[in-house]
Structure 1
Amino acid sequence: MKLLLLLLLLALTACGVRPTAPIPGGPAPIEEVTEGRVLYLLRGATLTRVVRPPERTPSLDLLAAGPTSLELAEGLTTEIPPYAAPITAVQGEDGITVRISAALKYLSPQARSQLVCTAIPPGESLATPVTLTDPTEKLLPLTCPFDA
């Protein structure tokens, strides 16, 4: 009986595969998420890229609407006031022109960076020049300072 139990135990624990060292693999593939709306919110004073599900509302208007409750819970904020909407972006030969309804002089540098980065369509270089305008003022072209 003991012999039968010993043989049964050996059969269950010994499958014939010897232990080996881990086999190294390459780095995990990184897939760029390009579907959806890309916004740049703030975590403290740091620009943070956020991808939201696709929807009809333009990214710049979503930015003016502020973070979702989930984004707020993750510590994300915006310095774009809601009254800055509607915000329009037009692509031209010299870059992108963004027109906001609020006065640019009241926007912080972080808010300006949020507008500039969010205005650049996914797949385009973040070095694309973006000119911010309001009803009375036009700034010199800016580039997105986001560092991935």
Structure 2
Amino acid sequence: MGHYISNLRDIEFCLFDLLGRESILGKSLYADLDRETAMGMLEEVKRLAENDLAASFIDGDREGVDFNPATGDAKLPASFKKSYKTFMDNEWWRIDAPVELGGTAIPPSVRWAIAEMVLGSNPSIHIYASGTAFAHVAYMYGTPEQKNIAKLMVDKQWGA
């Protein structure tokens, strides 16, 4: 286990007892999501954050990024690449993508609970995977050309 331990019990209390998020689940945009499914998602992100994502935090901090300004190349630690690939392969980037582009419809409060665990375990993973969040903004408020770019950003999983 790495440096990060999430408090899923506190997250569950905040989401369901304090904020009453269960009242919006199973309806309208969130018709396919119930409390059990939301908790399953959070439990999986907890496991991922505490193990796979946290594993590269120290290397990322100590080794950092090796940037070559002459070529524009940036080399990342191998452990970070592995953590990032795991995050992307598990398709957690979909929580920030618009539903119209293959994103997952979840309440913002649940999305931020997931983000809290990812940010706590390895902030760089969250930043590198933020391309879909940018695509969401471009798709919702952009020109037709920008909406096409947003589709590419999601389809090609462009990140930071």
TM-score of the superposed pair, with normalisation by structure 2: 0.27
Q: Which has the larger radius of gyration?
A: 1
Greater RCO between the two (CA within 8 Å, min separation 6)? Answer: 2
**Higher relative strand content:** 1
